[in-house]
Each structure stands twice: as structure tokens, then as C-alpha cells.
């Protein structure tokens, strides 16, 4: 039997707020860690002890993958656990494309236009090669490795890969079983992931096709399993606020203690993220206050735009104000560096908010209404 409408679910606002944290963590990481990423002055800021936290900011992408698996299961799982209907699959694909593609496409076209007018810097290798892959959301699938118009879109491509598989993952893995079944399932996929991750964890090259697909598959399926623990009300009476704070602290401490051991930090981080996410959905006190307040939730709503826009915005700012930034780097003026960092972030947040309200949210609502209207007619 096909569900004719998309049944609204009560939103778990703390998860939306977590998206804001993950997005901003990735933004600061990209602004501060890589040569050639503008505005390059951020690499010269004296971060002090925070450098350890920033150095592992790519972990924010994994938060997105875990969250995606949990939220997608929360909304769509019931459509695929009993049987797989063609119309349900098509409905799911349309809704996910309506969620992620309009903003991605708009940013991509704008980047190409600005590049042709010299406003956006680009490498000749990426002028033609990845355009088709960017347009088809396949740029992280290992077909081409010479660049991308918008490098953060690699994770969008990886998520599209797992979205295509989700109906079949839900049908094959999600059963009306005991929590012991899901515990065994989580242990099994964790072992498989860590075996596959032995080589991947020795690099922070998140644009690597195989590495990206392995990360999204593990994180997403783990999120799906966590939702089923949540659905079965597993261990819900534990002091989850305290446990969540402890897990976050463990993740941060591991980044200091094992700063030069990427493998160790990744393993600890993935375990900590798993438990932290489950703690967050049960939070009733401090974690809920931090992640479910109005500011966090709003930033979470525009986090997709923040993530997709941050590299283009950084490149445009750095390309057009390079002389000014080189000057403050030469003078090692820390206060000016912090000031321009805050200005860059403010510009990013304003543009992200505009993109959310003018492109992302209207397009998503239009697709949702159209899909429901078409299904009701069938």
C-alpha cells in the first residue's frame, strides 16, 4: 500500500541545532587548514589550544552523515520496511532532490558565471571536466579527480549516493526485531567500516571518492540504526545529558592527546559521535538548551546553505581582496585577522540566510506540495 501524503513528524529541534555546529566547524576548518583556500590569512591566526579542535573540523561532515541517516529514517523508514513499492521510491527520490538540488544547482551556475567574468578564481582543469559530474551529483564517485567547481559538494554527492540506496537498505536491514538485533547490526557494520578505514584514516583527503563513500555509508547506516534504538525507547532513562557532554569531551581530549594519529582520533570520534547523537535526542537539560534554542535552530535551518556557500564565498573574498590580506599576514596583525574572519563569517551567514529563504525553502516546499498533489491524483 502506498502512502499518499507525506506524514508530518514532530521535529527534534536539537538535531537541527547540531547541524549548525557541524557546519560552522567545517567552515573554520577549511578556512584555517589548507593552502590555497582563501581568505588565506586565517591560517596565520594564533588559535592556541583551539588548534587541536579546528584541525579535526572535517569531523563535522561525519556529523552530517550520522544525522542524515537518523532523520531520513525518522521521516521515511515506514515507507520501505514492509515492501518496496516503485511509487514510494520515486516519491523519496523526488523529495530528496527537491531538498538538496535547487540550491546546489543555483550556486554551481553562479560560480561558473562569476568564473567567466574573472570574479571567481578557478583552475583550468576544472573548467569543463567536473561540470557534468557536479550537475549529476556524481563528483565524489571516483570518476574524476582534478577538481570541482564547489568542493564541499563532494559530500552532497556522497549523500545522493546513499539516498539512492536507502529504500533497499531500509528494506533489507530494518526489521521488527529486538534491540539486540540492532546492537549486533551496529557492531557488524562498525567492524566492516574500521577494516575498510585502515587506509582511509591515514589521510584527511575528504574529496577521495572511495573514502567519501565509505564514510557516508557507515555514518548514514549508523544513524539509521540509532533511530531504531530511539524508536524502541532503548535505554531512554539514562542520564543522557551527562553522557553526551562526556562523549563530546572525550572527542576533544582525543584530538589533543592523539593529535598526530589521525586513525586513533577518527576511531574515537566516530564512537563518540554515535553516542553523542543518541544522547542529544534524549536530552532534556543542558544539551537541549545549547542545541535547541532559537539561534541554534535557525542556524541549523540555514546550515545547508552555509556549507555549500562557504568555499565560494571564501574564494571570492580572497581573490578580490588578496592585497589587503597579504598585508595583514605580513604584519602578523592578529586583531585584524580576527576582525576580517568575523566579517567573512558575517557575510557568509547573511548570504546563507538569503539563499535559504529565496531558493532552498521555497523550492523544497514546492516539490513537496507537487509530489503530494501528484500522489493524491494517482
pLDDT at position 199, please? 60
Does 340 reside within a domain? Answer: yes
Give dist(CA 41, CA 322) in Å, integer. Answer: 9
- Grouping H, G, I as helix, E, B as strand and the rest as coil, residue 150 is coil
Residues of the chain with pLDDT under 50: 1-8, 203-204
Give dist(CA 293, CA 288) in Å, integer. Answer: 7
The cell numbers describing 88, all together, are: 514510494
User: Angle at CA 68, nearest 5°, toward 281 and 364?
Assistant: 110
Does 140 reside within a domain? Answer: yes
pLDDT at position 361, please? 96
Does 103 reside within a domain? Answer: yes
The cell numbers describing 196, all together, are: 575498510
First to last CA, the chain: 13
- Grouping H, G, I as helix, E, B as strand and the rest as coil, residue 249 is helix
pLDDT at position 6, please? 35
Does 7 reside within a domain? Answer: no
Give burial (CB, 10 Å; 0-12/13-18/19+) of 180: exposed
Q: Is the peptide bond before 39 cis (omega within 30 degrees of 0)?
A: yes
Give dist(CA 82, CA 351) in Å, integer. Answer: 43
Count of structural domains, the chain: 1
Among 255, 363, 347, 277, CA closest to 306: 347
pLDDT at position 2, please? 38
pLDDT at position 5, please? 35
Does 25 reside within a domain? Answer: yes
> Domain range spanning residue 200?
13-377
Does 272 reside within a domain? Answer: yes
Does 138 reside within a domain? Answer: yes
Does 304 reside within a domain? Answer: yes
Give dist(CA 217, CA 157) in Å, integer. Answer: 12
Amino acid at each position: 500500500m502506498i502512502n499518499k501524503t507525506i506524514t508530518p513528524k514532530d521535529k527534534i529541534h536539537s538535531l537541527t541545532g547540531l547541524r549548525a555546529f557541524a557546519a560552522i566547524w567545517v567552515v573554520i576548518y577549511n578556512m584555517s587548514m589548507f593552502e590555497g583556500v582563501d581568505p588565506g590569512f586565517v591560517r596565520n591566526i594564533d588559535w592556541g589550544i583551539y588548534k587541536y579542535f579546528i584541525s579535526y573540523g572535517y569531523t563535522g561532515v561525519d556529523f552530517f552523515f550520522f544525522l542524515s541517516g537518523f532523520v531520513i529514517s525518522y521521516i521515511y523508514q515506514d515507507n520501505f520496511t514492509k515492501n518496496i513499492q516503485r511509487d514510494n521510491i520515486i516519491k523519496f527520490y523526488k523529495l530528496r532532490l527537491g531538498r538538496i538540488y535547487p540550491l546546489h544547482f543555483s550556486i554551481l551556475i553562479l560560480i561558473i558565471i562569476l568564473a567567466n567574468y574573472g570574479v571567481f578564481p578557478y583552475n583550468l582543469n576544472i573548467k569543463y571536466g567536473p561540470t557534468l559530474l557536479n550537475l549529476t551529483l556524481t563528483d565524489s564517485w571516483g570518476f574524476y579527480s582534478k577538481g570541482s567547481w564547489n568542493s564541499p559538494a563532494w559530500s552532497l554527492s556522497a549523500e545522493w549516493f546513499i539516498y539512492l540506496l536507502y529504500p533497499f537498505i531500509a528494506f533489507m536491514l530494518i526489521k521488527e526485531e529486538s534491540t539486540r538485533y540492532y546492537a549486533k547490526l551496529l557492531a557488524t557494520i562498525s567492524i566492516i567500516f574500521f577494516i575498510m578505514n585502515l587506509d582511509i584514516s591515514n589521510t584527511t583527503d575528504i574529496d577521495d571518492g572511495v573514502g567519501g563513500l565509505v564514510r557516508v555509508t557507515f555514518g548514514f547506516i549508523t544513524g539509521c540504526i540509532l533511530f531504531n534504538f530511539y524508536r524502541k525507547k532503548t535505554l531512554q532513562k539514562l542520564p543522557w545529558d551527562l553522557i553526551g557532554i562526556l562523549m563530546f569531551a572525550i572527542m576533544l581530549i582525543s584530538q589533543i592527546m592523539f593529535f598526530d594519529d589521525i586513525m586513533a582520533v577518527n576511531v574515537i570520534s566516530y564512537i563518540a559521535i554515535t553516542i553523542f547523537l543518541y544522547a542529544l535526542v534524549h536530552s532534556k537539560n543542558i544539551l537541549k538548551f545549547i542545541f535547541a534554542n532559537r539561534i541554534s535552530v535557525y542556524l541549523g535551518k540555514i546550515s545547508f546553505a552555509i556549507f555549500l556557500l562557504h568555499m565560494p564565498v571564501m574564494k571570492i573574498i580572497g581573490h578580490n581582496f588578496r592585497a589587503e590580506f597579504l598585508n595583514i599576514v605580513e604584519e602578523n596583525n592578529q586583531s585584524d585577522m580576527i576582525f576580517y574572519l568575523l566579517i567573512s563569517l558575517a557575510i557568509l551567514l547573511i548570504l546563507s540566510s538569503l539563499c535559504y529563504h529565496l531558493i532552498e525553502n521555497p523550492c523544497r516546499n514546492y516539490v513537496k506540495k507537487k509530489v503530494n498533489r501528484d500522489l493524491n491524483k494517482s
